[in-house]
């Protein structure tokens, strides 16, 4: 048979030959392309979600750091740091029992706070 006769006589039945394999391959590759497209979109969505989660975590960490700095500044300005140093010195020197440390600390913080308030209130009177 010549090449022309092959072209003129199309196949009318399934032979399972190479032509069929090519057709199956093209159909599967189309499905594979669809699957890879879906997988790619899914992967991109997952990556975007992961990046958003990381961004939110970084934002939270930044806020915590800012709050820590503000708290440190407050402790420094309020004298709370020194109040605790005084109280712990008193606990050691007065040999306060371990089960009384919390109650003693709370009581002394209140006293020191009241003393500081009184000093702040009396300071403007002296300036006038």
Are 20 and 57 within one domain? yes
Q: Give CA torsion, residues 14, 16, 17, 18, to 10 deg.
A: 110
- CB distance 85 to 92 below 8 Å: no
pLDDT for 100 equals: 95
**Looking at residues 14-29, what average pLDDT do you find?**
51
pLDDT for 24 equals: 47
Residue 56 domain flag: yes
DSSP state of 12: -
Are 20 and 67 within one domain? yes
Q: Please write the tens of the pLDDT for every residue from 33-66.
A: 677 888 999 999 999 999 999 999 999 999 999 9
- CB distance 108 to 87 below 8 Å: yes
Residue 6 domain flag: no
Question: Residue 34 has which token pair?
Answer: 């669809």
Residue 7 domain flag: no
Residues 102-117, buried b or exposed e (16+ Cβ, 10 A)?
Answer: eeebeebeeebeeeee
106 backbone dihedrals φ, ψ, rounded to 5°: -60, -45
Does residue 27 register a pLDDT over 60?
no
**Looking at residues 7-12, what average pLDDT do you find?**
55
pLDDT for 13 equals: 54
Q: What is the extent of the structural domain holding 119?
A: 79-128
Are 85 and 49 within one domain? no
State the total domains in the chain.
2
Return d(Cα 89, Cα 108) in angstroms, integer: 12
Residue 3 domain flag: no
Are 42 and 55 within one domain? yes
pLDDT for 71 equals: 86
Query: Which of 47, 74, 101 is at the close of a domain?
Result: 74
């Amino acid at each position: 048979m010549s090449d022309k006769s092959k072209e003129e006589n199309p196949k009318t039945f399934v032979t399972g030959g190479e032509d069929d394999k090519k057709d199956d391959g093209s159909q599967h590759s189309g499905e594979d392309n669809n699957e890879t497209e879906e997988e790619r979109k899914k992967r991109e969505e997952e990556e975007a979600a992961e990046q958003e989660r990381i961004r939110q975590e970084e934002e939270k960490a930044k806020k915590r750091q800012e709050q820590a700095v503000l708290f440190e500044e407050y402790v420094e300005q309020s004298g709370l740091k020194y109040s605790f140093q005084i109280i712990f010195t008193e606990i050691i020197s007065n040999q306060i029992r371990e089960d009384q440390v919390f109650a003693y600390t709370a009581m002394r913080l209140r006293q020191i706070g009241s003393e500081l308030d009184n000093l702040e209130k009396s300071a403007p009177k002296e300036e006038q």
